Amino acid sequence: MNITKVIRKLKKPPIILALLSIMLILSFLISLAYGALEISFRDVIKTLFSGENTTTFRILYNVRLPRTLVAALVGACLALSGTLLQGIMRNPMASPSILGVNAGAGLFAYFIFILFPNHLSLTPIGAFIGALLACILVYLLAYSDGISPLRLILSGIAISALLGALQSTLVILFPERSVGASYFMVGGLSGITWPSFKVLLPYALFGFILIAFFPKQLNLLGLGDETAKALGLNVEAFRLFFIACAALFSAVSVSIVGLLNFVGLIVPHMARLLIGNNHQHLLPAAGLLGASLLMFCDTLARMVINPAELPVGIILSLLGAPFFLYLLRGKKDM
């Protein structure tokens, strides 16, 4: 059989999505199996389905399963947030961290965490408001007869620096309530339990359902404002809608695991290399890839200095920075 034909067949979107789904399942099983206590894949499946109250079952069900599920949802949310922002801004450098979305979500989440510790249930809502306001502010500052990629990045850096300074001010003013500040700033999944998953799940599902109906509109936005308007798209309304969805994904992730960088920046690029620019295929590919990546990185974070663990944000930075530099060298027009 012709090798070229085989490669072309393998690059078809349904096959790529199927392979990414298989990778998701493998990452899920690896995350459950490895850690301070190693458990075989067979024992993982057998223990979870048996429901017997053994030590292994308690470790899997109470510790690793909620952590792994949260890692999958957060990875998908951050990847989708980056994909949406890159699509509506038509800028490959756009991401929740670079455009100040994470900083806005982090500031408001931290504000509630420090000043209203008895109302932590409001953290996702507060983080969403902060992320949305930051994203809109960056967009407004960068807009002048259209969006300039350079103005967009510079505005995002400026807003991120401002919000970061405000967050540091809160840490200085309330040191006794800022014990977990460094861990929050790096981002990690240590201590994640079922309540965290129950908070995250409805927001994530709501966002997944929202964007599932509008990939064509996101494709039209990628053609430019004039072309999209000529094809009958309400450009500003859909841009604001997608900004809100990106803010939702980023905010709920930050409120649960802290500030995780690089997922929203590099995963959309990785998905695009695999499946192309059509958001009908790109969005599910980015979600699957982001979920797999964060589960895999969290497994590494638990194993590198076993029995202790690193925050997963450090692993993401170690893996993400070289990949991003590779992208910059490979794409001179970025």
Percent of the chain with pLDDT over 70: 90
Average pLDDT, integer, range 71-75? 96
Assigned token pair, 115: 């000043």
Q: Where are the alpha helices (DSSP H) in the chain?
A: 3-10, 13-33, 41-50, 55-59, 65-89, 101-115, 123-142, 149-173, 181-186, 194-212, 215-221, 225-230, 235-257, 263-275, 279-303, 312-330
- What is the C-alpha separation between 69 and 281, in angstroms, rounded? 23
Is residue 20 one of the residues assigned to a domain?
A: no
Average pLDDT, integer, range 16-23? 95
Determine the pLDDT at residue 255: 85
pTM: 0.87
Q: Domain containing 162 — which CATH number?
A: 1.10.3470.10
Is residue 219 one of the residues assigned to a domain?
A: yes
Determine the pLDDT at residue 8: 53
Is residue 272 one of the residues assigned to a domain?
A: yes
Higher pLDDT, 278 or 325: 278
Residue 187: which region, alpha, beta or left (left: phi > 0; alpha: psi -120 to 50)?
Answer: left
Length of the chain, please? 334
Cβ contact 74:256 at 8 Å: yes
Determine the pLDDT at residue 76: 97
Q: What is the domain range of residue 152? A: 66-330
Is residue 251 one of the residues assigned to a domain?
A: yes
Cβ contact 94:86 at 8 Å: yes
Is residue 226 one of the residues assigned to a domain?
A: yes
When divided into structural domains, the chain yields a total of 1
Average pLDDT, integer, range 232-248? 89
Is residue 118 one of the residues assigned to a domain?
A: yes
Tell me the per-residue pLDDT of 92-114, one tens digit each, with 9 for 90 and over. Answer: 777 888 778 888 988 888 888 78
- What is the C-alpha separation between 160 and 88, in angstroms, rounded? 20
Cα distance from N-terminal residue to C-terminal residue, the chain:
38
Is residue 6 one of the residues assigned to a domain?
A: no
Whether 89 has a pLDDT exceeding 60, the answer reads: yes
Whether 211 has a pLDDT exceeding 90, the answer reads: yes
Determine the pLDDT at residue 334: 46
Is residue 41 one of the residues assigned to a domain?
A: no
